[in-house]
Amino acid sequence: MSKTIIISNRLPLQVSIENNELEVTPSVGGLATGLKSFHKDGDSIWIGWPGLTEEEIPAHLKDEVQKKAKEENCVALHLTSDEIDGFYYGFSNRTIWPLFHYFMEYTESDDDYWRYYKQVNQKYADEILKHYEDGDVIWVHDYQLLLVPNMIREKAPDAIIGFFNHIPFPSYEVFRTLPWRDEVLQGVLGADLIGFHTYDYERHFLSSVSRILRYQVDFNEITLPDRIVKVDSFPMGIDYKKFEQAALDHFESTSADQSELQRRLDHHLEATPDAKMILSIDRLDYTKGIAHRIRAYEYFLDKNPEYIEKVRLVMLAVPSRSNVPQYRRLKREIDELVGRINGKFSTVSWTPIWYFYRSMPFENLIDLYTTCDIALLTPIRDGMNLVAKEYIATRTNKKGVLILSEMAGAAHEMNEALIINPNNFEQISEALKTAIEMPEEEQIERNKMLQKRLRRYSVEKWAEDFMKSLKGTKENRDSFKSI
Ligand code: ADQ
């Protein structure tokens, strides 16, 4: 029977070593959380890096890593620390990530990074080919593996290959600055179907293909000498039922079952019942606009001193890519900003920002989603932003307000949120006021519409639509051959 082979840089599980013993935990991040349910329910294997370099895994635990991965239908691909430095921290996160998010000043062009990127992409492609059998469908994910589709195509010309890009695709004017632009485009074009979160990213990609490679582009199809490649947008959803159910369970749980975090949140709610809690959750990344958000919050408090002691920003930032200098600088900047603003506005009984710099278990994520009255998400660029969708899914009483940056892919489907430009502090400040004062009926009205849409276009539906369209490309190919 044919299967689906999923490939992403990281596996949905993360191994670590504690006291000479192997520990396995779920990976954090949009792709892993989103695709996990598709993987769990279907007949698929998932190939990726388990989170520790070859050097970090003692020889006697190597088989154990593979065994643990196998229990979850996964295959661990081992990478050396040099490969992780050059391929992951290098080309993926110092070249492609900043460039695709329009941070051109952060984009590095380094031949060594590129060499490692090609080498590791080849390693992924070779691993896939070891597991590939005729009739299997291959689904490659994200910007770390842009060359993989064509590397598979070279060895398995008839394979059905899909590629999904989880981050934005920049406009041609930005993309064209990449020294390896031709190779990158040719790499992705090994796929039969290329998916993006939004129509804009799709358009940018098509325009780069037509202007850089001069291939013929008709509507959303690219004609190569031997094949047609289809490009389409598939806005990724969330596991809606999982978040909804977790929120319902949360509300039904007794105080004895409550987490320490929830107890503390409740304590503050009781002490200041009129104060609104404003939530933000992101990986600590310069694209997420965390520093902008804090400054906009300061602007809001400066302009509206009547809200002092009446609001609290609960900010969760998950450690991410701390080997890259910009991330370390950003961490320092945020520490300083939080310190300065807390120093400036705090009173004996109130602190304006609660800042957590750590990963939290799912249960605590639900505590935060369900307790906070407002979610304030201000990315400067974001492929989609699943946190916005998760927040809405957990509002089972339909109350709560989402303030969302227009620069997030999710904004296209979430018109009922208060949409802001993350660079416009005045607008963010006004949106905060509107959110705090919004009548409950209006909150319910807005959330009803949002929930209806998110429930319908869940991550299962997203994966199903992508797969259906990918399998459909086979017919395209057969008819192309017969011309
Ligand atoms: P990310 O940049 O990682 O994903 P996002 O879409 O917001 O961003 O997903 C973050 C995920 O991590 C969410 O599912 C959230 O629940 C989870 N998470 C966040 N903080 C956590 C914590 N402290 N503990 C546990 N889990 C936590 C990339 C792109 C996005 C795109 C996704 C999916 O950058 O734009 O939406 O892929 O395509």
What are the structure tokens assigned to 208, written together?
Answer: 């780069």
CB 15 within 8 A of CB 22: yes
Alpha-carbon span 109 to 35, nearest angstrom: 31
The answer, yes or no, to whether any atom of ligand 1 lies below 6 A from the CB of 413, is no
Name the residue with the closest Cα to ligand 1, atom 26: 28
CB 283 within 8 A of CB 317: yes
Pairing label, strands 137-141, 160-164: parallel
151-165, 263-277, 373-387: the lowest-pLDDT one: 263-277
217-231, 286-300, 319-333: the lowest-pLDDT one: 319-333
Strand arrangement, sheet containing 193-196: 74-76, 44-49, 4-10, 137-141, 160-164, 193-196, 228-233, 221-223, 216-218
Name the residue with the closest Cα to ligand 1, atom 12: 29
Alpha-carbon span 310 to 320, nearest angstrom: 32
Name the residue with the closest Cα to ligand 1, atom 2: 30
Q: Please, which residues bridge with residue 279 across strands?
A: 314, 375
SS3 321: coil
pLDDT at 294: 98
pLDDT at 35: 83
pLDDT at 269: 86
211-220, 287-296, 315-324, 444-453: the lowest-pLDDT one: 315-324
Alpha-carbon span 95 to 175, nearest angstrom: 11
Give 412-419's long-range contacts (Cβ < 8 A, gap of 24+). Answer: 412/198, 412/199, 412/235, 413/235, 413/453, 413/454, 413/457, 414/388, 414/389, 414/450, 414/453, 416/446, 416/447, 416/449, 416/450, 417/388, 417/446, 417/450
CB 81 within 8 A of CB 53: yes
Distances (CA, A) of 424 to 61, 62, 420, 430, 431: 51, 51, 8, 10, 11
Distances (CA, A) of 361 to 52, 366, 367, 383: 20, 9, 10, 24
Test site for ligand 1: of 196, 386, 454, most ligand atoms within 8 A of the Cβ: 386
Atom nearest to 238 CA in ligand 1: 14
pTM equals 0.95
* pLDDT band, very low/low/confident/very high, at 299 (cuts 50, 70, 90): very high
Top pLDDT among 244 and 482 is at 244
CA of 71 to the centre of ligand 1 (A): 24
Top pLDDT among 10 and 269 is at 10
Name the residue with the closest Cα to ligand 1, atom 33: 30
Atom nearest to 288 CA in ligand 1: 2
What are the structure tokens assigned to 311, written together?
Answer: 């609001």
pLDDT at 482: 64
- Which residue is it, tokens 């196998």? 70
Query: Among residues 270, 349, 280, which one has the least CA distance to residue 313?
Result: 280
Alpha-carbon span 299 to 124, nearest angstrom: 47
Q: Is the pLDDT of residue 478 over 80?
A: no
Alpha-carbon span 67 to 64, nearest angstrom: 5
pLDDT at 268: 85
The stretch 200-206 carries a mean pLDDT of 98
Q: Is the pLDDT of residue 481 over 70?
A: no
CA of 265 to the centre of ligand 1 (A): 23
State which amino acid sits at residue 79: L
**Chain-centre distance of CA 386, in angstroms?**
7
Test site for ligand 1: of 143, 144, 283, most ligand atoms within 8 A of the Cβ: 283
Average model confidence (pLDDT) across the chain = 94
Name the residue with the closest Cα to ligand 1, atom 37: 30
Name the residue with the closest Cα to ligand 1, atom 31: 384
CA of 57 to the centre of ligand 1 (A): 27
* pLDDT band, very low/low/confident/very high, at 257 (cuts 50, 70, 90): confident
> Counting Cβ atoms within 10 Å, is residue 131 exposed (0-12), middle (13-18) or buried (19+)?
middle
**Biggest CA pair distance of the chain:** 78
**How big is the chain by its Cα radius of gyration, in Å?**
23
Alpha-carbon span 268 to 350, nearest angstrom: 10
Query: Among residues 365, 373, 426, which one has the least CA distance to residue 401?
Result: 373
pLDDT at 403: 98
Q: Please, which residues bridge with residue 13 across strands?
A: 26
Q: Is the pLDDT of residue 6 over 70?
A: yes
Query: Among residues 289, 312, 278, 225, which one has the least CA distance to residue 403?
Result: 278
17-21, 289-293, 345-349, 350-354: the lowest-pLDDT one: 17-21
Test site for ligand 1: of 100, 143, 281, 290, most ligand atoms within 8 A of the Cβ: 281
CA of 31 to the centre of ligand 1 (A): 7
CA of 135 to the centre of ligand 1 (A): 32
Q: Is the pLDDT of residue 480 over 70?
A: no
Give the DSSP H/E element, type plus range, for residue 328. helix 325-345
State which amino acid sits at residue 277: M
φ, ψ of residue 27 to 5 degrees: the values are -80, 150
